[in-house]
A = this chain, B = another copy of it.
Amino acid sequence: MGEVRIISINQNVTADNDLAADMLRRRLSAQGTFFVNVMSGPGSGKTTLLTALINRLKSDYRIGEMDVDIESRIDAQRVADATGVEALQIHNCGLCHIDADMITRALTEYDTSELDLLILENIGNLVCPAEFDTGAHKNVMLLSVPEGDDKPLKYPLMFTVSDLVLITKTDTTGYFDFDFDAAKKRILALNPKAVIIPVSAKTGEGLDAVTDWFRSGISSINTDKH
């Protein structure tokens, strides 16, 4: 057996972002818009899942989507084409995250006042986006089966800050070693209140439960409003 030693290198990450996030959240609550921040690593299936979800909700609600990417417009275009909703592509020019101030600036060019649901498809990154409050009411994260059940151990903050954890691409389970019980235990150890739903955009597994979670969130904000 080889030897392992551990070295910790500290650096403070300051954030005066929380005030901007609270202001944005209050503003969206007041106008009755449920704002959800969707995070994951690259290639976990965010765009495919969100497209399926929006198509299930769009007859009942007014929905908007913002896609953050370094420089492409692939995701916003895919969502817009597949659902017909207006999608805003935000380029963050190489940054690893997006914060509430950036969202607030983007919303000066995107009228959300009539929306029931505003979805932020965050950049594919399991580290940095977890550190910044975007002003969303709820955080959702996707962990795909091919990524492996050890990810909660390696990216703990992402799982700690997420209200809903979707284990995606469950149709590939036969192909990868993924221990669902171990993954759930690891997630709940970090975040006992996390809702965990296994889903597959291919087979439709879990999509009803995810849709219900979104409906419930939209209702809670609309109730607050009136």
Hey, which chain B residues are within 8 Å of A150, CB to CB?
72, 74
- A146-B169, A157-B94 known; A3-B86 Cβ under 8 A: yes
- Asked if residues B4 and A105 are in contact (CB atoms below 8 Å), the reply is no
Contacts A42-B147, A81-B1, A124-B126 given; does A156 touch B70 at CB 8 Å: yes
Residue of B nearest to A90 (CB): B7
> How many of A's residues come within 8 Å of B, CB to CB?
69
Copies of this chain held together in the complex: 2
Q: How far is the CB of A117 from chain B (nearest CB, A)?
A: 15
Q: A84 with B146: in contact, given A6-B91, A70-B155 (CB under 8 Å)?
A: no
Which of B2, B42, B131 sits near A94, CB closer than 8 Å?
A: B131
Interface mask (A42-84 → B, CB under 8 Å = 1, otherwise 0): 1100000000000000000000000001111111110111011
Question: Does A139 belong to the interface (CB within 8 Å)?
Answer: no
Q: Are A155 and B42 in contact (CB under 8 A)?
A: yes
Contact present for B157 and A7 (CB under 8 Å): no
A88 touches B42 (CB 8 A): no
**CA A147 to CA B95, docked complex, whole Å:** 20
| Residue A96 interfacial (CB < 8 Å) | yes
Report A178 CB to chain B, min CB distance, Å: 10
